[in-house]
Amino acid sequence: MKEEFKRNPVTLFLLSLTSLLFLLMQLLYFGQATSVQAVITFGGLYGEILKIFPNQAWRLITPIFVHIGWEHFIFNALSLYFIGRIAEQIWGSGRFLLLYILAGLSGNIFVFFFEPSVVEAGASTSLFGLFAAVAIIGYFGSNPMLRQLGRSYVVLIVLNLVFNLVTPGISLSGHLGGLIGGALCAVFLPTLYEANTFSRTQRLSALLVYLALMATMLFAAFS
């Protein structure tokens, strides 16, 4: 366990924080932890509230750590454990944490813009961002293992998006936002092993596109 923590401290921290919040929800809202009140109290996103109280902009990040029901939590926790360890080894702990937060933020901004009347929570915005980021690095990089992994993640992304389309109650906009944010982050956040995969101009362009897209959508959503 000590060796695991040394290798993947951020993954285990994110998993521990997510698990702790979920268990607290179960204790404080026993039998009603999936209610709208419980989700919003613990930091879920509801765009209509955010429009009225813009000082609660932290709700664009906190939903990453909040989950609605055991199935939702277990699926995302397992996904975080497996993809998180891979991504943390690729980007390093600090950049991996930034990637996770920025992808989740992007997904939540998409939800705020496209579905302001929906109560949203879950790590899947960040997880879709991680899948997209690894796929981008695999496609443009030269590492054969990452290339193979990237191709498998592309298939996984497509299957999940199709599943989103036919399954009610799943936020397609949040997942698309996470994908776009993660893909852009993969360009401007250099990896540990192939830091020169993208040029300085490409990195700067991706960063500016990310910032401009998020700022434009936020401005439009609040307006």
Catalytic residues: 124, 175
Contact of 172 with 165, CB cutoff 8 Å: yes
Helix axis angle for 93-114 and 172-188, nearest 10°, is 140
Secondary-structure breakdown of the chain: helix, strand, coil percentages, each rounded to the nearest 5: 80, 0, 20
Q: In Å, how far from its chain's centre is CA 163?
A: 18
Report the distance separating Cα 67 and Cα 87, nearest Å: 22
Contact of 134 with 146, CB cutoff 8 Å: yes
The DSSP call for residue 48 is H
Helix, coil or strand: residue 43 = coil
Other Cβ atoms closer than 10 A to 209: 14
Report the distance separating Cα 145 and Cα 143, nearest Å: 6
